[in-house]
Copies of this chain bind each other. A is one copy, B any other.
């Protein structure tokens, strides 16, 4: 089941999603129609651009076309789910022209997105755990048109304008446009109410984007739709008897700050398929097992995406955070099997999400203790040497030494 109407959003496709596509023979088709993104491209306030590594994106429409080729598949659009019975599996839809339609299902797979209509029945059951958390940020999309039939900025990059509490990103489309997404707290959106304020705001924070989007288009499109909310949804169990199972955003909507939303959804299918094979397609056994296996992983990625949302704003400018990232990557190079950065496990492997988190915490502890130990040994050794062999040091007063120490830049 796909959403009846939705906006077209650029999605990042990484290892897990590709593995799922491979299983249904769609990997090459999808990847060939996507735009590879080798790097992020960071736009600073003065317009300079600097690249950093990244992933890929796919085309949902191809999946629909491929699904259609299966003889046992029928696609129905513009059907709104009114209600469904947990006992019989009977589903009542209302069609676009208003007629009601009743359908009997052996198994209902609820993949109807973050605001799932299927999930509403789950909420009426006892012992269904559920949470929906909206973040204080909203997002707004703007289009950057091609210039002379070519991309306005370098394609193959995720363009980022990081500005502390808010940021803008731009992703390339096949028609040579870029979709720019502005993330900002709702209270900031509420402050910008006129076209002139939009221009003033962009002049202050994203001056290099104004000529690329176009000042008039910017004034107009900014108010085309209100800022959209972002929600994180977690729930458990994912199944109801042997009649219904939730997958994708219906089971676990995540905030978009780890680029794993679609990948986690695709991996749901892969895991479900694996369990179907293990348990001989017996729904009464498969569904509880799917819940047991998949819930901790989906909850882990939802938490990670939320953690990244907080981290991106709070830590990205912290020296210690950057130093630790540097140490992690360095250790991964010299001990590739022992220390694997969290981002690598999540994006480029199929390590179960909850195991990746566990391992991350373990690595963190080990590395921090290692650094502490190194620091202690250096201090102790240094002190010993200083006492044992007092050096002939120039006598620099503290007021002079301090600015020099502060001027020492980290190498990143």
Q: How many residues from A make CB contacts under 8 Å with B?
A: 12
Taking CB atoms, residues of chain B closer than 8 Å to A229 are 126-127
Q: Contact check: which of B128, B134, B186 meets A132 at CB < 8 Å?
A: B128
Q: Contact check: which of B123, B126, B133, B186 meets A129 at CB < 8 Å?
A: B133
Q: How far is the CA of A96 from the CA of B131 in the complex (A)?
A: 33
Q: Contact check: which of B123, B127, B128, B134 meets A127 at CB < 8 Å?
A: B134
Taking CB atoms, residues of chain B closer than 8 Å to A128 are 132, 134
Taking CB atoms, residues of chain B closer than 8 Å to A123 are 123
A 105-132 binary contact with B (CB < 8 Å = 1; else 0): 0000000000000000001001111111
What are 17 A-B pairs at a CB distance below 8 A?
A123-B123, A126-B134, A126-B229, A127-B134, A127-B186, A127-B229, A128-B132, A128-B134, A129-B132, A129-B133, A129-B134, A130-B130, A130-B131, A130-B132, A131-B131, A131-B132, A131-B133
Mark A residues whose CB is within 8 Å of B: 123, 126-134, 186, 229
Extra pairs beyond A127-B229, A130-B132 (10, CB < 8 Å) = A123-B123, A126-B229, A128-B132, A128-B134, A129-B132, A129-B133, A129-B134, A130-B131, A131-B132, A131-B133
Question: Nearest residue in B to A230 (C-beta to C-beta)?
Answer: B127
Q: How far is the CA of A131 from the CA of B299 in the complex (A)?
A: 14
- CB of A121 to closest CB in B, whole Å: 13
Q: Which 3 A-B pairs have the closest CB atoms?
A: A131-B131, A127-B134, A126-B229
